[in-house]
Chain A
């Protein structure tokens, strides 16, 4: 029916649409750079992601033809994003709330892991008032432990 006739002759997007979307993406990029310099506290990342979301939507709908193509492709793409959002949200709940029941669980799971070798391990524990042994006011350098190979 509708999609039948549409798919028969591929939808050709007018040149002006492509150029308009392209310009909109340029303007949004400029806005996102500009707005990053305004201190909004925690809202900076929200605004940045919101603008990036608009840009991504424009690219997906027009450049990737999701607006004109079979809706199946839109469903696939949107479900990928939904699954990813659930994944990140649940992970963040876990990571940020671990310490509320048992403060000892707030720190890195393995603070002896290679990643932390010779470096201060404090943030998570410190945030939950669990001053780790390395909790110096982490003024400037993240060096620490005398055994770290410093030149």
Chain B
């Protein structure tokens, strides 16, 4: 069997077959997600340390986060995860138009998330609830409340950057879907984008109770 025949256009020449190409891509993506978990892990460790040494301050400081906005963002992000999964399902079923609609909804949700975040951030900037030496707010009982906001801004900021990256990637996937590059036979990039987006959702699922709902 020569090597040029029967090869679909999306199969790169260094792979034996479509299956191997897809498995390699997914394996690589999962390894990347592993590094992502560890990247955020450092911040979760910092959170655990400072919460354990500043129990009362964390409790007092968290009251200055708006639970309603945090919960709204949680709903928005979970909803976008559902539509992301549905987009991939549509491509699996060969319905590109539906996939585009679902990706569009996902993109809009990511936008809403960042807009809500913008209002939260600008309120904190206004109040002087800023990290480290930029902290000028008075009125949180407990020592070193600026530490809470250092951790808050680092964790939600890094997460926000990931949402921004997700917007770029989802937009790119929409373009490729619209161009007709994906079909029921080949949609690996879309699937990997989905994996990334769900991980961003999972991280927020932990950030929300840890930052907004300190009991």
Contact = CB atoms under 8 A, between A and B. Distances in A.
Contacts of A63: 81-82, 84-85, 194, 198, 201
A13 B44 contact: no
A92 B49 contact: yes
A40 B143 contact: no
B202 A96 contact: no
B53 A95 contact: yes
A115 B54 CA distance: 15
Interface string A11-36: 01101001101100110010011001
Interface of A: 7-8, 10, 12-13, 15, 18-19, 21-22, 25-26, 29, 32-33, 36-40, 44-45, 47-49, 51-52, 55-56, 59-60, 62-64, 69-70, 72-73, 76-77, 79-81, 83-84, 87-88, 91-92, 95-96, 114-117, 119-124, 127, 138-143
A49 B44 CA distance: 12
Contact of B52 (A8, A18, A96): A96
Would you call the interface of chain B mostly helix, strand, loop, or mixed?
A: helix
Would you call the interface of chain A mostly helix, strand, loop, or mixed?
A: helix
B147 interface: yes
Nearest to B203: A56
Which 3 A/B pairs are nearest by Cβ-Cβ distance? A44-B215, A36-B213, A48-B209
Given A13-B89, A95-B49, A32 B213 contact: yes
A91 B45 contact: yes
Interface in B1-44: 19, 22-23, 26-27, 30-31, 33-34, 37-38, 41, 44
Interface string B82-120: 101110010011000000000000000000000000000
A147 to B, nearest CB: 13
B52 A95 contact: yes
